[in-house]
Structure 1
Amino acid sequence: MSMAQNKQLISKSPNSCIKKFLKFCYFIPSFLMCACGNGKSETATQNVQAKEDSAQTEQIPVATNKIKTILCFGDSITAGYGLDDTNDAFPALLQQKIDSLGVNYTVINSGLSGETSAGGKSRIDWILKQDIAIFVLELGANDGLRGVALSETRSNLQFIIDVVQQKSEDTTIVLAGMELPPNMGQAYTKEFRQIYAVLAQENQLEFIPFILKDVGGIASLNQSDGIHPTVKGHQIVANTVWEVLKPLVKE
């Protein structure tokens, strides 16, 4: 190859390279537009799919199980008087038993130390502002210890029962019976005991004959006052109440 030919080839090479580079640059925007277009298309498709999935999810009914309430309405026995922790009182122990069954019930402790049947009568309307599935009525012991007229105790308990039933016919009432120590007199203690049995029968209530069964009068299961159960005593009380409550909760 002559020197003239070499010079001609060298002079053409830069122009050829430039042309090829310009052609390559021409294709870059097209490539980018395609790439971006595909990205937008995929994103749009994903958004549509997400909306469809969301719509399908919204159409699926969500099952909700309403938690029912068991309300323990009583005096110091229910309140857990003298215990270091109210979680040791029998209402809290009932909650543990219920939780072990996996049923939707919550136990509310509405016990008040020193409460009489008259006191319960005065606060029942406020208590019934909530929906109650099962109403455990444990009152009257303080009436007996104070020598309140038995007719008054019975009348107050009947009033509470009537108000609960009027509020909701679906509420199940569990009446917890009580007994008095013999020093209150044989006739008085006998008639006092019968109040609960008669009320339960006349009103067709679920009935616990004696809530302190196997606890009352046993020194080792009661605190130093001889009246209020210890932690172990409350465990026995919970078992006594549970015998009546368990079938109701399962239903």
Structure 2
Amino acid sequence: MTKPQNKQLLSNLPISVVPKLLKFCYILLVVLLYSCGDAKTEKTTEIESTTPATEQTLATDATTKTILCFGDSITAGYGLDDTANAYPGILQQKLDSLGLTYTVINSGVSGETTAGGKSRIDWVIKQTPSIFLLELGANDGLRGVALSETSANLQAIIDVVKEKSPNTTIILAGMQLPPNIGLEYTIKFKQLFIDIAEKNSLEFIPFILKDVGGIAALNQKDGIHPNIQGHKILANTVWDVLLPLLKSQK
């Protein structure tokens, strides 16, 4: 399409639609550029995929309550035919079935590390969610990132949420690593999530892949990313922590 045709198309749109269309195009461009840049540093042994995920930043009005799931390929639903089958989509189904007026935003990006999350949290948190689920760190562990760096990045993300959206309830999702990474590192890696949750008085999911991690029937062929059945169990694990919060916010 030529530039004159582009201008003609925009001029034919209602005035109220144009800013929204431009905003959507801008967000899409940022996500694509970020995903491509991150893919250059990915390793095949990581829990994430180098394939960019589509980050859903759903537009909601000021009265809509939102639950923002901020994570990596586990949240993004890597490898599923329909990302609605990832745990954020299943949470939305649970909410809808109970008539709870919340919108779940899937802000998962495949290939994400805590450093990557730190770099994008400022504009993501503009959604001002009621509940913010932080699910990051697995890639750090599989890369052997210094635990102090992972901890500092997670704390920085939490600090931004607290500062820019002080009424948001934060849930921290813990992660664990396979023992072949090294016993001392894996023990300390698991503990850092516990320490951060306690330090910040956060709602806490000890292991988001509980009853899923390491079980072949609940994971895709790579043995790492949950399949549809795995995501259903994962959603139930999140739901156990989420539901009491929803009841308290009524």
TM over 0.5: yes
2:115 is the counterpart of 1:118: yes
Query: 1:65·1:104 contact (CA, 8 Å) conserved in 2?
Result: no
Amino acid corresponding to residue 208 of structure 1 in structure 2: I
Decide which of 184, 187, 192 is 1:187's aligned counterpart: 184
2:166 is the counterpart of 1:169: yes
Name the structure with the higher helix share.
1
CA distance in 2, matches of 1:162, 1:85: 33
Decide which of 192, 195, 203 is 2:200's aligned counterpart: 203
Amino acid corresponding to residue 240 of structure 1 in structure 2: T
2:248 is the counterpart of 1:248: no
Provide the residue aligned with 1:225 in structure 2.
222
Amino acid corresponding to residue 83 of structure 1 in structure 2: L
- Identical aligned residues as a percent: 71
Note the alpha carbon deviations across 1:106-126, whole angstroms, 9 max, x for none. 000000001000000000001
Provide the residue aligned with 1:68 in structure 2.
65
Unaligned runs of 5+ in 2: 1-60
CA distance in 2, matches of 1:87, 1:168: 27
2:148 is the counterpart of 1:148: no
TM-score, length-normalised on structure 2? 0.74
Per-residue deviation, 1:104: 1.4
- What secondary structure is seen at the aligned counterpart in 2 of 1:78? helix
Per-residue deviation, 1:103: 1.6
2:123 is the counterpart of 1:135: no
- Report which of the two structures shows the higher radius of gyration computed on alpha carbons: 1
1:78-89 alignment, distance < 5 Å:
78-89=75-86
Amino acid corresponding to residue 100 of structure 2 in structure 1: V
Provide the residue aligned with 1:109 in structure 2.
106
Note the alpha carbon deviations across 1:48-107, whole angstroms, 9 max, x for none. xxxxxxxxxxxxxxxx99220100000000000000100100000000111112121100
Note the alpha carbon deviations across 1:181-228, whole angstroms, 9 max, x for none. 111000000000001000000000000000000000101111111110
CA distance in 2, matches of 1:110, 1:65: 19
Provide the residue aligned with 1:160 in structure 2.
157
- Cα RMSD after superposing both structures: 1.2
Per-residue deviation, 1:168: 2.1
Note the alpha carbon deviations across 1:124-158, whole angstroms, 9 max, x for none. 00101222100000000000011111100000000
Unaligned runs of 5+ in 1: 1-63
User: Where does structure 1 differ by over 3 angstroms across 4 or more consecutive aligned residues?
Assistant: none
TM-score, length-normalised on structure 1? 0.73
